[in-house]
Structures are given as C-alpha cells and as structure tokens.
C-alpha cells in the first residue's frame, strides 16, 4: 500500500490508545528491574545502599519523574478505558467526568506540593 | 475559473500515477477524480452514484484518511496544491480506486445484521416508544449507509481480517436495541465469537471518521457490556 497510513491515526482517541499501550509496555519492561533491586534489600543490603546512591544523580531523578509520569498516565488511561467501555455515558457526561478528574488531580497535586514543599 | 492546478496522485495497483487537474472554486475530491477519468485517462476505474452523500459508494482514501469524496471539498484537504487518492483500506482492490465490498457485507450477515421478525403480515404493527433509551440508540444507528469508511479507518480490522469491524457491529447493536427485532440471543452469540466485539481496542478511528457522525466505538462498547451480562446470566 502506497498511501500514507499514519495520518489516519492523528486524532485524540487513537493517541489516548497508543499512550496507554506504550506506557503499559514500558512499565512491564521496568518491573523486572524494580523487583531485582527490591530483592537486594533481603539478599545484599550493602549492594542496595550502593545502588540507591544513584538516586542523587539528576538523570536518575529525571528518570524517576518519567516513571511516576508513566504510572500516572497508564492509570488514568486504564480508568478512561474502563469508563468508556463499561459506563454508557453520553458525550457531555464524559467531558464532565474528564474535567472533574483532571481538576481533582490538579488540586491533589497542589496540596501534595504544599505538604512537602 | 482559475488557472491553478491540483497535483493529483492516484494509487493504481502497485503503481501511482500523477495528474495535473484544473482547480475550480467549491471543487470536491470526486470532481477532481472525475476530471481525470473524463479528460486524461478514460481507463481510470472508480465508483460513485448520488454525489450528495446519500449512497456511500464514492468512499476513498484521501491524503491517508478515508472519506466520502463527493462531500469532501478539495480546499479542506489539499496540502501544498497536492492530493493523494487511493482505494479504501482493508478491502481487496478490484482495480484502481474500486474495492471489493463483499467481505464487508459478508460481515454484516456474520454479525447477524439481518432482521429477525416477531410478527407476520397479518399482525398489527408493533408499537414503538420513540422516547425509550433503547430506541434512541437504535435511531442513531439506522443512519449508517454502509459506506465502509469506518471499516477502512480501523487498525484492528487491518491487523485481524476475521474481525467483524465497526459498521457490522453497529448494525448488530442497532438491531439489539430495536423492539421489533427478536434476534437477541443470535446477535449476542454472533458478536461474542473470535472475530467479535471484544477484539475492539477502542482506538476510535471509526467514530472520528464516520461521515454521518455516528459512534460505532460506543456501540461496540455497548455490545461488550451486553455480551458480558449475557454470559454472566448463563446465556439468557
């Protein structure tokens, strides 16, 4: 097929789909590493401490941000999918629910930043 | 009349062919394709009938997106004076811009998209409550004119040729909500098989590109809920 196929996908619903799937794949690939490091707490505590010193580096902090961001978008992507498929909401109801969820997420994030800031 | 031209590229089998077509005001993509067939190459094969968005036969891929060419103004889709037109995706090509619609219609039948009557011609006409939620669902679904734009837009169909696809499943959902249709169990069995509604990944291209602004993605979500309830209740 010679036709450019990707243009077909340049709409928010498809982007929400691919972000959810790619973040899930990324988290699944990360999990073995996560468990490997966690297991050090039981088997080799000294090595774990050495490993945890890496968290002082800026690049590791940036990667941690990426991880939390990946978890957040995957969770909200999953909640979106569950609502989309299991709740027979009308389009305005979906918009209201998305607005309410993002507003409460924003308020909770601000509260958290105040609490630890 | 302007002296500008549109650079039109057409997918013809394994090759593409380019034409310079005179540009006019309020020109549709179908006008441009027709100009080629009437003035440059009479052997170009394409389909159309009504030219006003009622028959659904002129659907093609236009710059990578499935559209009714009769209702698509060139000015809305042209990119740097160029247009790229190809046959609908996900269907076998017969020639040039003409696809074989048989697999698409076969899937309507496979999804039990046929009327399952409850009465004979001697009975009274069944009363229909226009305000009931089920009828509201059915009323939107009956506007589908089988143009196959959603089917061409769907990546799940592209990846799984057995998947029934958006329009056949929308038809099944419409009949499921129709008080005059008695095929509930047959429909739910047909749409819960290996090529059924649970293949859908809710990518939403069907809903994004439906020229009639219908919502097959939500209809498929409705089928997912109903087939699940049906299974949990012991197939009643």
Q: Convert the pLDDT of each residue in B15-47 to its tens digit.
A: 999 999 999 999 999 999 999 999 999 999 999
Whether the per-residue pLDDT at A20 is higher than 90: the answer is yes
Chain A residues with CB-CB distance to B202 below 8 A: 13, 17, 81, 84-85
Share of residues in chain A with pLDDT > 90 (%): 25
Q: Are B209 and B201 in contact (CB under 8 A)?
A: no
DSSP state of A3: S
Q: Stretch A27-38: mean pLDDT, rounded?
A: 92
Q: Convert the pLDDT of each residue in A77-94 to its tens digit.
A: 999 899 888 888 877 888
In terms of domains, do B132 and B65 share one?
Answer: no
Q: How confident is the model at residue B9 (pLDDT cuts 50, 70, 90)?
A: very high
β B82-86/B65-68 pair status = unpaired
Domain ranges, residue B48? 5-99
pLDDT score recorded for residue B1: 44
In terms of domains, do B115 and B196 share one?
Answer: yes
Domain boundary among the residues B99, B121, B136 is at B99
Q: Does the beta-carbon distance from B64 to A85 stay under 8 Å?
A: no
Helix, strand or coil, per DSSP, at residue A48: helix
Whether the per-residue pLDDT at A27 is higher than 70: the answer is yes
Say which CATH number the domain at B57 has: 3.10.20.30
Whether the per-residue pLDDT at A109 is higher than 90: the answer is no
In the A/B pair of chains, how many CB contacts fall below 8 A?
66
pLDDT score recorded for residue A4: 59
Domain boundary among the residues B77, B99, B121 is at B99
- Mean pLDDT, chain B, rounded, equals 94
Q: Stretch B127-145: mean pLDDT, rounded?
A: 92
Whether the per-residue pLDDT at A1 is higher than 80: the answer is no
In terms of domains, do B47 and B136 share one?
Answer: no
The ipTM estimated for the assembled molecules is 0.80
In terms of domains, do B197 and B107 share one?
Answer: yes
In terms of domains, do B126 and B204 share one?
Answer: yes
Q: Stretch A53-80: mean pLDDT, rounded?
A: 88
Whether the per-residue pLDDT at A102 is higher than 90: the answer is no
**Facing residue for B225 by CB, picked from A7, A11, A86:** A86
Q: Does the beta-carbon distance from B86 to A3 stay under 8 Å?
A: yes
pLDDT score recorded for residue A61: 84
> Which of A3-7, A105-109, B81-85 is most confident?
B81-85
Q: Convert the pLDDT of each residue in B140-186 to its tens digit.
A: 899 999 999 999 999 999 999 999 999 999 999 999 999 889 999 99
In terms of domains, do B64 and B153 share one?
Answer: no
Q: How confident is the model at residue B236 (pLDDT cuts 50, 70, 90)?
A: low
pLDDT score recorded for residue A24: 96
In terms of domains, do B223 and B118 share one?
Answer: yes
Looking at per-residue confidence, does B24 or A117 come out higher?
B24
Scan for tokens 């590493």, then name that residue: A33
Q: How far apart are CA A115 and CA B109, in angstroms?
A: 60
In terms of domains, do B208 and B92 share one?
Answer: no
pLDDT score recorded for residue A2: 46
In terms of domains, do B17 and B114 share one?
Answer: no
In terms of domains, do B141 and B66 share one?
Answer: no
In terms of domains, do B55 and B28 share one?
Answer: yes
Chain B: closest CA distance from residue A115 (Å) = 38
Total domains in the fold of chain B: 2
Say which CATH number the domain at B211 has: 1.10.1060.10
Chain B: closest CA distance from residue A62 (Å) = 30
Using alpha carbons, list the distances in angstroms from residue A113 to A75, A106, A108, A109, B236: 20, 11, 9, 6, 52
Whether the per-residue pLDDT at B216 is higher than 50: the answer is yes
Instruction: Tell me which chain B residue has its CA closest to the CA of residue A21.
Output: B201
pLDDT score recorded for residue A117: 66
> Which of B119-128, B131-140, B163-172, B226-235 is most confident?
B163-172
In terms of domains, do B148 and B181 share one?
Answer: yes
Instruction: Tell me which chain B residue has its CA closest to the CA of residue A9.
Output: B205
Chain A residues with CB-CB distance to B65 below 8 A: 7-8
Domain boundary among the residues B69, B99, B129 is at B99
């Amino acid at each position: 097929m010679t036709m450019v196929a990707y243009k077909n996908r340049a709409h928010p619903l498809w982007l929400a789909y691919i972000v959810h799937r790619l973040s899930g794949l990324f988290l699944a690939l990360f999990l073995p590493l996560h468990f490997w490091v966690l297991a050090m707490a039981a088997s080799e505590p000294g090595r774990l401490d050495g490993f945890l010193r890496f968290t002082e580096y800026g690049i590791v902090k940036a990667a941690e941000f990426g991880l939390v961001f990946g978890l957040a978008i995957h969770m909200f992507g999953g909640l979106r999918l569950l609502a989309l498929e299991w709740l027979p909401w009308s389009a305005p109801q979906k918009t209201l629910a998305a607005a309410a969820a993002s507003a409460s997420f924003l308020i909770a994030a601000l509260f958290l930043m105040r609490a630890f800031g | 009349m302007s002296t500008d031209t549109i650079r039109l590229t057409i997918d013809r089998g394994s090759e593409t062919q380019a034409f310079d077509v005179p540009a006019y005001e309020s020109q549709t993509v179908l006008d441009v394709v027709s100009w080629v067939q009437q003035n440059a190459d009479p052997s170009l094969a394409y389909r159309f009938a009504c030219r006003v968005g009622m028959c659904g036969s002129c659907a093609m891929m236009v710059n990578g997106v499935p559209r009714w060419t009769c209702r698509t103004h060139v000015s809305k889709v042209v990119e740097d004076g160029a247009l790229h037109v190809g046959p609908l995706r996900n269907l076998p090509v017969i020639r040039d811009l003409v696809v074989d619609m048989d697999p698409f219609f076969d899937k309507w039948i496979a999804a039990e998209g046929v009327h399952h009557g409850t009465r004979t011609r001697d009975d009274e006409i069944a009363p229909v409550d226009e305000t009931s939620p089920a009828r509201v669902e059915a009323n939107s679904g009956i506007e589908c004119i089988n143009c196959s734009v959603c089917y061409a837009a769907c990546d799940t169909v592209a990846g799984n040729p057995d998947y029934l696809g958006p329009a056949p499943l929308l038809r099944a959902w419409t009949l499921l909500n129709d008080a005059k249709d008695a095929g509930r169990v047959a429909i739910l069995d047909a749409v819960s098989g290996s090529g059924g509604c649970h293949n859908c990944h809710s990518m939403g291209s069907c809903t994004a590109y439906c020229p009639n602004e219908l919502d097959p993605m939500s209809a498929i979500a409705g089928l997912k809920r109903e087939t699940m309830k049906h299974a949990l209740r012991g197939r009643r």
